[in-house]
Structures are given as C-alpha cells and as structure tokens.
Amino acid sequence: MSTPPSNDSDLRSLFDDAVSDVHPEGGTGEIRARAGRPSASRWMPLTVAAAVATVMVIVGGAWLAQQESGDTPAAGPGSTAEQPTSQPSSDDRRTLQVPVYYVGGTAAGPRLFAETHRVRDASGIELQAAVQEALTASPLDPDYENPLSGPGLVATAAAEGGQVTIDLSEALSRPPDMNEEEAQMAVQSLVWTADAAAPGSGPVSFTVDGAPATEVLGIDTSAPLERASADSVLSTVSIATPTEGAVVPTRFEVTGRAATFEANVVWELKRGEEVVRRGFTTARECCTQSPYSFAVTAAPGDYTLVVHDTDESDGEGIGTSADTKRVTVE
C-alpha cells in the first residue's frame, strides 16, 4: 500500500509524476489546428485533466484518512491494532446433534441400538459430547438402558495419533448382576459411539485419570479396542426414524436397518393393544445390516410402531427381535 502524502511538497511531486509524460507537440498555432480536426489526439488535454483529477481524489482521500486516524497503523501481521472479535472461539457453547449407542434386549441377547441426542450448551467437540452422553445420559427410548451411568462419572475423549482416547474420571468395575456379554456390549457402546462421532479415528484406548486402564467393567482394555462387527453387536432390526415420541403427519416414512432372514422386515402400528395397521418390506440385503424403509398412513392419534424380524424356525428358534417407537400422528 502506498503511503499518503504528508506535506505540500509530496502533493506537488504527485502532480508532477502524473503529467510528466505529457509533451504537447508544436506551437500554439499547431495545437489549435489539431484541435479543429477530428482526431483521437484532440482528447489529450481531457486525458491529462482526468489524470490530474484522479490523482487529486486519491491524494485527498489518503490525506483525509491520515488526518482522521492520526498515527494508528493499519491492522496486519505484527500490528498492535485491535482485531475483530466476531469469530467464535473454540470453547463457545453451542447445540450439537451427536450419535449415541445404548444397550437393549433382543431375542439374541443384549445388542446395541443407535439414537441421536441433542446436546445443548456443549463446549467440546462432537466426540466429547457423544461419549459423555453414552456414559451418563438416559436413552430417549425406555426400551434401552445405559449400563454405564454412575453418579459423578465423567470422561474426556480426544482423537489423536490414529486412535481415540477415553479418559474416565474413575475406574469402572463390573456390577455383580452384569454378565460377560452385557459387559462386552456396554464397552462396545462406547467404542461404537466414539467411532460414529469421529469416523475413521481408529481404535479406542481407555485411561483412568490419565493412567492406562487395563480393565473396564472387567473387559480387558490393556490394548486399544477395535469396533466389533455390526452383525455381532447391533440389533437384528432397529428403527432410525421416526424417533421416540416424534410427532408425525398422517402419512410418514419409517427408516431403519435390519439383518434378517431373506431380508424380511415386518411392522405393525398399534393403538394400545389393537393393531390398526400392518405390513412388511424387505431390507436392501439379506442377513447383514442393511437399510430398509416403508410408509405408514394413519388417522391422528397416539400409536406404538413395532418393527421386527421373523422367526423361521416354527417356534423352535430364539424367537423374534423388535424395536418400537411411540409416535403421535397429527
């Protein structure tokens, strides 16, 4: 940026520079003669005048700006001028939508179900908010449970160096009424939550107050834990939308995931114990976790939506697994 002139000599120098390259040819008579002929050169005096006027505007504006600002330098690298404060800082509190996994009962035993939680007044990253919800919050769906929650239990979570570290405020011992499978699912709920909140961040390492944790709920955590396969820990059928307690229109779409025989997905809409609508659909693939969707039409009222797999064993197998959501149709 050029420096504005500070005195009359600088102003005079700028004027001289502006017209120094203009050299009218010939005497007064020749100039008058050329002015009478239609030629591009007849506009030379106007060009000079315009150049001089432009210089006056630039110089005058710069001089005025200098008078108003005094000796304050322009903001820039190394400048001590006060910088704008409109950019939010990294610890600004905000509302986040985070994925959380909880444990629910199925015909095959405890399995993981996903929810999306709205975390208000969050000060950390999505990973931190999601892990804290998995540890201490209650599921939105009363059919799920949080086997990790304890009074005063907090955690910090960070992704760095190809892995996630969850630092617990205190050691988690396995309760007497929790079996091995339930403990595995509880620990995997944290691993799956961390992976969903920070995809691709790597396995999960556990610490307690900064020191390595060799066990969490009696599960060996001396080495970082990888996320278990979806088919081994997720429910065979689950509902993604609508969510628990949702208000929906008279025609609404149901989405979810299923890993069922021949991709069969069966559903009912119930008012109390009465089934008012029923139907079936198929997931995208058979026998592995894949998406499904279908539409339901119902009159206004309160309902329970039930989505389940099928029992192909003629009653000799483990039975069916289901997910339910209470909805209000308006």
pLDDT, the chain, mean: 79
In the predicted structure, residue 17 carries a pLDDT above the cut 70: no
* SS3 state at 267: strand
Q: Are 120 and 136 in contact (CB under 8 A)?
A: no
Ramachandran bin of 276, using left for φ above 0, alpha for ψ from -120 to 50, beta for the remaining angles: alpha
List pLDDT tens digits, range 83-113.
Answer: 332 333 445 678 999 999 999 999 999 999 9
Is residue 189 situated within a structural domain? yes
Instruction: Judge if 179 and 258 occupy the same domain.
Output: no
- 21 versus 111: the higher-pLDDT residue is 111
pLDDT of residue 149: 77
Q: Answer yes or no: is 256 within a domain.
A: yes
Residue 75 has pLDDT above 70, yes or no: no
Give the mean model confidence (pLDDT) for residues 208-212. 96
DSSP for 194-260? HHHHSTT---EEEEETTEEPSEETTEE-SSPBPPPPHHHHB-SEEEEESPTTEEE-SEEEEEEEE--
Q: Is residue 210 domain-shared with residue 284, that is, in the same domain?
A: no
- For the chain, what is the domain count? 3
Same-domain status, 221 and 103: yes
Yes or no: say if 188 and 203 are a contact pair by the CB < 8 Å rule: no
Which tops the pLDDT comparison, 71 or 197? Answer: 197
Pair 222, 109 in one domain: yes
Is the pLDDT at 8 greater than 70, yes or no?
no
| 178 and 138 co-located in one domain | yes
Domain with 269, as residue range(s), is: 237-329
3-state secondary structure of 125: coil
- Domain CATH code at residue 306: 2.60.40.650
CA–CA dist 186, 200 (Å, integer): 21
Same domain, 214 and 300: no
Confidence band, pLDDT 50/70/90 cuts, at residue 233: very high
Same domain? For 168 and 59 the reply is: no
Give pLDDT, residue 316.
60
pLDDT at 27 over 60: no
At 1 the pLDDT is 43
